[in-house]
Amino acid sequence: MSEDPFVAHRSLLFTVAYEMLGSVADAEDVVQETWLRWAAVVDAERCEVRDPRAYLVRIVTRLCLNRLRTLARQREEYVGEWLPEPVLTSPDVAEDVELAESVSIAMLAVLETLLPTERAVFVLREVFDVPYDEIAEALDKSPAAVRQIATRARKHVAARRPRMSVSRTEQEQVVERFLAA
C-alpha cells in the first residue's frame, strides 16, 4: 500500500502555512485542519484525488488566507511590531543552517506588509515555484489575475530591499562597534 498523500506532503504543507502565517502554532493548526478536510474528502468520496499535492496546497492556502483575515481583525487593537520568529523546517540540520542563513527577519517583515492574497501568491510562486494556474485555482482567480498579483507583490518586496549589499563581516563589525559604543 502506498503512503498517504497527506503524510507524504505534510512537511510541504507546514512550510507553506508557516511562510504565510509566520507562526508555528497557527501553521500547525492549519495543517491539522487540512488533515481533517482531507480525511473527510477521501472517506466521503471513496475516490482518488487527481493531484493530491495540488489539492492539499490549495486547502492550506485557503485556510491560511482565512486565518490571516481573522488575525488582521484581531490585530487592529495591537500596538507594536509583529515579527514572526524564523523556524527551522527541514529534516536535515545542514539544510536548516543554510535556510536560517538565507531567511532573515527582514524578509518576514516584508511579507507582513503584503496583503494576504499577495503574500499567498508570492510565497507559493517565489518560494515553492507553484505554477500560476494552480495558484489561480487555489485562490479562485484567473491565471492572469494571479500573474498581476505576483508582479505587484514582487514590486512591493523589491521596493523594501536594501539599496546596497553588505557582507556578513561588515555587518558583524558594525554590530561590534555599536555594542562597544
Which pLDDT does position 13 carry in this prediction?
Answer: 93
- Which pLDDT score, from 0 to 100, does residue 100 have? 53
* Residue stretches of the chain with pLDDT short of 50: 1, 104, 163
pLDDT of 108-134, one tens digit each? 666 777 888 888 888 888 878 889 998
What DSSP line would sit under 85-152, residue for residue? PP---SSSHHHHHHHHHH--HHHHHHHHHS-HHHHHHHIIIIIT---HHHHHHHHTS-HHHHHHHHHH
- What confidence tens digit (pLDDT) does each residue in 161-173 have? 654 566 778 777 7
Q: What is the pLDDT of residue 81?
A: 53
Q: State the pLDDT at residue 125.
A: 87
pLDDT value of position 83: 52
Mean pLDDT of the chain: 78
Write down the pLDDT at residue 94. 57
Task: Note the pLDDT of residue 1.
Answer: 47
* 105 grid coordinates: 527577519
Integer Cα distance of 146 and 148 in angstroms: 5
Crossing angle between the packed helical segments 132-139 and 52-75, to the nearest 10 degrees: 60
Q: What is the pLDDT of residue 159?
A: 79
The pLDDT value recorded for residue 39 is: 87
Q: Cell numbers 563589525 label which residue?
A: 173
